[in-house]
Structure 1
């Protein structure tokens, strides 16, 4: 299971991801949000992105399922980062946006539609949902981690019946040094219909 991988390799994961330059992705996401919007960082890892969003004046709620990563993110951000799985999170008030950067790809493909539906229900109507997946088809396991890969056709199938509409999807190279040959599918979605209030 991917959570145990991150529990065991938290330090190496933090070192490998904390200083990755993410500005190109932030620049796709943040212009859609009003000042002070409330963002959920779903699968926050080291807390890198939460820290940036806080620095830009946004309200941030962060969660991760790996306890060592939660502890690091709490120290880095000063936030009371939640230790929970995606399906355990329920927002007290409808969120303006969800940021799920390289996190939902660890959810088994069969569970992904219901999980995306659950997260969408945490958004206000018109709320924004960013997520990213390794580009491809099907599921793979590597070094104790599970990956659900998506291409554009897979994304279309995933969103069938969900209250989420594509704003934009685009491919990028991996932003980590030495990983440029790996491709990612980035997706910006918008919540349709009434919120969960």
Structure 2
């Protein structure tokens, strides 16, 4: 599967070779793209079976963890970039911001209210409110780009996208 066009468009804001956290990486479509582009990646998901082929790489650290079980945030280090796609667990917002290095860049995109008409997710707990990413990350960070509304690719959906720097 191809990387998100939002990610591809905004990768230029993260210094090449920088450490990037791919949060809730799933099968690793963004982890793989980041590695090809020369980044060092920490790939995190509860189920890492889709990225187990990357475990032997020196430029990729893989961590299997449940980010929603109330345990402490598993990262002490700072990242030049943090990527979050199609994942929402609001209690992590503060940790995401605190884990960005000086001039670190957040690239975040996920579903928002209105997505119910296009399919899953449809549970309000997993849908951003209007302007939520801008409201949450716009104060501690500097917004580079923000978008929300209907997208046709890779499938029809209502999404919200932000790229912001520390």
TM exceeding 0.5: yes
Distance change (3 Å), C-alpha of 1:76 and 1:58: same
What is the match of residue 85 of structure 1?
Answer: 66
CA RMSD across the alignment:
3.0
Which structure has more helix as a fraction of its residues? 1
Give structure 1 stretches of 5+ with no counterpart. 1-18, 192-197
Of 29, 35, 38 in structure 1, the residue corresponding to residue 10 of structure 2 is: 29
* Kept in 1: contact 2:3–2:29 (CA 8 A): no
Runs of 4+ in 1 over 6 A off after TM superposition: none
Q: Distance in 2 between matches of 1:175 and 1:35?
A: 27
* Kept in 2: contact 1:51–1:77 (CA 8 A): no
Distance change (3 Å), C-alpha of 1:123 and 1:155: closer
1:73 match: secondary structure: helix
Give structure 2 stretches of 5+ with no counterpart. none
1:81 match: secondary structure: strand
Q: Distance in 1 between matches of 2:106 and 2:81?
A: 6
Distance change (3 Å), C-alpha of 1:85 and 1:190: farther
Cα deviation, 1:53-87, whole Å, max 9, x if unaligned, reads: 1011111001012x2xx122122564442111346
What is the match of residue 49 of structure 2?
Answer: 71
Work out whether 1:56 is the aligned partner of 2:37. yes
* Kept in 2: contact 1:129–1:189 (CA 8 A): yes
Of 150, 171, 175 in structure 1, the residue corresponding to residue 153 of structure 2 is: 175
Q: How many residue pairs were aligned? A: 156
Q: Distance in 2 between matches of 1:184 and 1:75?
A: 30
What is the match of residue 148 of structure 1?
Answer: 127
Q: Distance in 1 between matches of 2:5 and 2:37?
A: 15
1:74 match: secondary structure: helix
How far is 1:136 from its partner?
2.3
Q: Distance in 2 between matches of 1:147 and 1:42?
A: 16
Work out whether 1:186 is the aligned partner of 2:165. no
Distance change (3 Å), C-alpha of 1:169 and 1:126: same
Q: Distance in 2 between matches of 1:81 and 1:174?
A: 31
